[in-house]
């Protein structure tokens, strides 16, 4: 059954990469392979000899000897007493963790759309005085590098692509900028404990401290962003000036205020998390609620959950924003994460990692882990590595893992959350990114790795 599940993953992954050739939306193979992978686990549960405990990052002892079901329907036994109990617990665990990311993503997208409803990003456009494509490239990449460290790489990508839509009307040129934003956002997220979900995992798992992570990874992460940006600046696509479409959007009197409020409430999310120790999506929902309330007040619309006939509310800024968010991207994200979770649950990723680590040096293993994060989601890879290494807090290997997992995903567009979102927002195909951006991302990744090894 393991062969069937891996085959489903490979086939589904292939169909996703051929999305534009087959004219089939990528979310369809993603959702189908998710369901089939977990169905394969359910049918073959009794034949599996290993199971990976994702909550603790280790294999379950004696899983092969556990009964398929618990001893009795009314026995007070824990989920660990049977294979079916482990399946139910693990599926719920992964679905919960995935939904945390998806709800966070919905909140961030909605705040960005509400801000855009008031033409808030037009304010930023007025500050970008340059028409030079190369200068704009450096501006968005540096912004992506800094913003992703503060509001995480996922949200930073959403914000910057939304701003780009106000400045660049050429779809092909905007895809190039979006590709470079993915590199910059992932590089910026790697050196901050709140910039990427994997660095947050290492931080919350007491593997790294915030100051040591920043001190050790700021320079390599900057090189990972700056070198590809420098090279891209010499490409023909970034020569010359940006052509204006001549359509100036109407300035809104509330635009600057809503921009400050929207970005401020997004920045508030990691602060809320640090104070309360609650998952980031809780803070994002609070921020969304506040931004939505202010938006409704500014729009002079009455808010009532009981008055369904209030057509003005239905067409308010919050509901307009919710109707414009990229739901296909969110469902695609669900399919990808849950499929990889199925592979992780069987211990396949963990076992493969242990075998490879035993054959090669630690530095080469972590470097390859970064390459692997471009193919397989970096979250389970980092979760598995946390169980493989027993080094003390702030050991060099933890910082190296944070860099590799955070930036390696830039090499393929579906290798990171930022890439998946950009893929949905700008309709970037897998092979377009592979032809045009992958080499630049690889150069940046290798340069950062080299600097880490030298330091």
According to DSSP, residue 66 is labeled S
The CA–CA distances, whole Å, from 84 to 50, 68, 79, 91, 100 equal 13, 6, 8, 10, 24
**Which residues contact residue 92 at a Cβ distance below 8 angstroms, ignoring those fewer than 6 apart?**
none
Is residue 115 a part of any domain in this protein? yes
pTM, whole model, 2 decimals? Answer: 0.73
pLDDT at 76: 46
pLDDT at 369: 86
Q: For residues 295 and 286, give the distance between their C-alpha atoms in angstroms, rounded to a whole number.
A: 14
Is residue 424 a part of any domain in this protein? yes
Is residue 87 a part of any domain in this protein? no
Angle at 192 between CA 233 and CA 226, to 5 degrees: 15
pLDDT at 244: 65
Structure tokens at 83: 């294979």
Is residue 9 a part of any domain in this protein? no
**Of 382, 350, 378, 335, which is closest to residue 53 (Cα–Cα)?**
350
**Of 385, 319, 377, 376, which is closest to residue 357 (Cα–Cα)?**
385
Is residue 340 a part of any domain in this protein? no
Is residue 75 a part of any domain in this protein? no
346 within 8 A of 83, measured Cβ to Cβ: no
Helix axes 2-17, 27-43, angle to 10 degrees: 180
Is residue 196 a part of any domain in this protein? yes
114 within 8 A of 151, measured Cβ to Cβ: no
Question: Total structural domains in the chain?
Answer: 1
Is residue 13 a part of any domain in this protein? no
For residue 191, give its domain range.
92-330+345-455
pLDDT at 77: 52
pLDDT at 427: 83
pLDDT at 355: 77
229 within 8 A of 180, measured Cβ to Cβ: yes
Helix axes 83-117, 280-298, angle to 10 degrees: 30
Mean pLDDT per 10-residue section of the chain, whose length is 455 residues: 88 80 82 93 85 77 78 56 83 87 83 84 74 90 89 83 86 92 93 80 77 90 95 92 66 82 84 84 91 87 47 67 79 84 82 76 87 76 71 87 91 84 84 93 95 90
């Amino acid at each position: 059954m393991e062969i069937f599940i891996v085959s489903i993953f490979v086939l589904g992954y292939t169909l996703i990469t051929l999305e534009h050739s087959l004219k089939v939306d990528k979310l369809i193979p993603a959702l189908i392979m998710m369901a089939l992978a977990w169905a394969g686990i359910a049918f073959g549960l009794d034949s599996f000899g290993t199971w990976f405990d994702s909550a603790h990052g280790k294999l379950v002892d004696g899983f092969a000897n556990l009964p398929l079901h618990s001893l009795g329907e009314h026995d007070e036994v824990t989920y660990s007493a049977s294979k079916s109990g482990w399946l139910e617990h693990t599926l719920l665990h992964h679905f919960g963790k995935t939904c945390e990311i998806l709800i966070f993503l919905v909140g961030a997208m909605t705040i960005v759309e509400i801000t855009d409803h008031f033409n808030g990003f037009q304010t930023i456009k007025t500050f970008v005085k340059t028409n030079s494509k190369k200068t704009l490239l450096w501006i968005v990449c540096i912004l992506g590098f800094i913003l992703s460290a503060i509001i995480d790489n996922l949200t930073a990508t959403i914000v910057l692509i939304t701003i780009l839509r106000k400045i660049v009307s050429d779809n092909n040129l905007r895809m190039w900028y979006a590709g470079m934003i993915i590199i910059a956002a992932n590089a910026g997220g790697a050196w901050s404990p709140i910039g990427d979900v994997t660095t947050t995992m290492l931080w919350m798992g007491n593997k790294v401290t915030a100051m040591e992570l920043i001190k050790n990874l700021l320079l390599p992460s900057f090189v990972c962003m700056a070198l590809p940006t420098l090279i891209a600046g010499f490409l023909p696509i970034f020569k010359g000036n940006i052509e204006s479409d001549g359509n100036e959007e109407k300035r809104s009197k509330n635009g600057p205020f809503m921009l400050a409020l929207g970005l401020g409430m997004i920045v508030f999310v990691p602060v809320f998390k640090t104070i309360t120790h609650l998952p980031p999506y809780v803070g994002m929902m609070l921020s969304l609620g506040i931004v939505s309330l202010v938006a409704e007040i500014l729009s002079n619309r009455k808010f009532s959950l009981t008055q369904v006939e209030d057509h003005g509310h239905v067409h308010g800024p919050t509901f307009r924003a919710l109707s414009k968010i990229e739901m296909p991207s969110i469902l695609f994200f669900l399919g990808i994460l849950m499929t990889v979770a199925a592979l992780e649950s069987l211990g396949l990723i963990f076992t493969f990692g242990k075998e490879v680590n035993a054959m090669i040096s630690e530095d080469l293993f972590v470097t390859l882990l970064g390459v692997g994060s471009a193919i397989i989601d970096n979250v389970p890879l980092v979760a598995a590595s946390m169980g493989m290494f027993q080094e003390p807090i702030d050991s060099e290997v933890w910082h190296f893992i944070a860099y590799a997992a955070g930036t390696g995903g830039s090499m393929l567009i579906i290798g990171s959350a930022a890439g998946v979102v950009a893929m949905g927002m700008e309709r970037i195909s897998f092979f377009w990114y592979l032809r045009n951006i992958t080499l630049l991302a690889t150069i940046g990744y290798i340069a950062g790795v080299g600097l880490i090894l030298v330091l």
